[in-house]
Amino acid sequence: MRQIFLDTETTGLSAANGDRVIEIGCVELINRKLTRNNKHFYLNAERESHEDALKVHGISSEFLKDKPKFPEVVEEFLEFCAGAEIIIHNAPFDLSFLNKELELVGKPSFKGFVASVTDTLVMAKEMYPGKRNSLDSLCDRLGVDNSGRTLHGALLDAELLADVYINLTRGQDALLIDGTTGQSADGTVIQIDLSNFKLDVLLANDQETAAHEDVLSQIDKASKGKTVWLATPQPA
């Protein structure tokens, strides 16, 4: 599964009123592992950033004047994103700007080039109702180090979002369910014979059982009663 975490910086808050994209950052995740095959563009929007926007990202028009314009990078950008699940924090904002940029070069909307778009702000609001769910707030809540984020930057924010997403979805390392394959240091897939392994069964004590039930209760509350195990009839 290929996922791309995407963020933009813009000259202001309204694509409809003429504000433009000045930075795009994309971070690739495959099978829940960061690949470091990222994509990053600074863009010359040929217009000044609003004062409030400049305070957020600190990217001046002077810095951008020798950078490419969106039409010069659009094919490379779309090729990188093609067919992937795109993950964005507050997706409607970024999509409105990307769609406007694509419209200006005569192309269809962004969703037509990708498999799907996931909004982590929606995910966070469902998991933490009534709490602040900005990217910085989620970093603090989930233990993601954002100490280097003095100003917003598209690539840095996309990298932080990848860490936040991994934590939101319960950690990066997947369990090896069937126990039959592994991977050597050089990346070669190897077979693992578990037929001769005998594992002791350690039962949970009362304290561990109570702690487990408490975690299940918290998950059920966060999902608003949508947990599968409570909806599934238990064996007699």
- Residues with catalytic annotation? 152
Distance of CA 80 to the CA centre of its chain: 16
Burial 71-107 (b: 16+ CB within 10 A, else e): eebbeebbebbeebbbbbbebebbbbbbbbbbeeeeb
d(CA 141, CA 144): 8
The two three-digit tokens of residue 194, written as one number:
């578990």
The two three-digit tokens of residue 164, written as one number:
């936040």
d(CA 22, CA 75): 16
Place of tokens 């970093």: 139
d(CA 126, CA 130): 9
What are the DSSP E strand ranges found in 51-157? 85-88, 116-119
Query: Which of these, 44, 62, 27, 40, lies nearest to 166 by C-alpha position?
Result: 27
CB 158 within 8 A of CB 88: no
